[in-house]
Amino acid sequence: MRHINKKRKLGMKASRRKSVLKNLFTSLLAYGKVKTTEIRGKELVRVGNSLIEKAKKSDLASRRKVSSHITKDTVSINFFQEILPKLANRTGGYLRLLRVGIRKGDGAKVVMVQLITEDGSKNTPASQIAGSEDRKQKAESKIQNA
């Protein structure tokens, strides 16, 4: 029986499972969102929310614990200096899970995990925001020309 065993095994041994989750968490912090399968996404939300909660304590032990789950130093520095202050007022629910659809190759359910900032909007890189403004301007110009 699996009493009190909350984590999902994901069909992997422990070392590979930890590595996959560390890499997913690092990518999530670097890009603001990540696409993955549904089960991995649910596990990432569980692990990610608890790591962000630990990071908010802001003592040395908790910073080291969270930094051990982030594989890139630049992402770790960016997380503690820029992302974490935006999450200071939230009491939980730092990550959002959106269902995207079904993967064509193997029929797996695909989800997008997003990092939520304090104002409720998703945290996206500046390059994507600039690209979306260009697309909006092009769409508006097509409407005016038609």
Q: What is the DSSP string of 11-31?
A: TS-HHHHHHHHHHHHHHHHHH
Name the token pair of 121: 């909007």
Is 144's pLDDT higher than 90? no
Angle (deg, nearest 10), helices 60-67 and 38-55: 160
Q: Which residue has the higher pLDDT, 35 or 3?
A: 35
Using alpha carbons only, what angle is made at residue 38 by residues 128 and 117, rounded to the nearest 5 degrees?
40
pLDDT for 127 equals 45
Q: Which domain holds residue 84?
A: 14-145
Report the domain count for the chain: 1
pLDDT for 26 equals 95
Name the token pair of 53: 């909660």
CATH number of the domain residue 45 falls in: 3.90.1030.10
d(CA 81, CA 4): 35
d(CA 63, CA 69): 10
Q: Is residue 127 part of a domain?
A: yes
Please compute the mean of the pLDDT values over residues 96-113 and round it to a whole number.
94
Owner of token pair 């051990």: 68
Q: Is residue 26 part of a domain?
A: yes
Per-residue confidence at 133, pLDDT binned at 50, 70, 90?
low
Is 146's pLDDT higher than 90? no
pLDDT for 118 equals 59
Q: Is residue 118 part of a domain?
A: yes
Q: Is residue 6 part of a domain?
A: no
Give CA separation, 40 vs 10, 18, 65, 94, 138, in Å. Answer: 7, 11, 21, 17, 37
Using DSSP, state whether 115 is helix, strand or coil: strand
- Could you tell me what percent of the chain has a pLDDT over 70? 85
Q: Is residue 3 part of a domain?
A: no
Q: Is residue 126 part of a domain?
A: yes
Is 122's pLDDT higher than 60? no
Per-residue confidence at 5, pLDDT binned at 50, 70, 90?
confident
Is 44's pLDDT higher than 90? yes
Q: Is residue 5 part of a domain?
A: no
Please compute the mean of the pLDDT values over residues 65-76 and round it to a whole number.
94
pLDDT for 111 equals 96
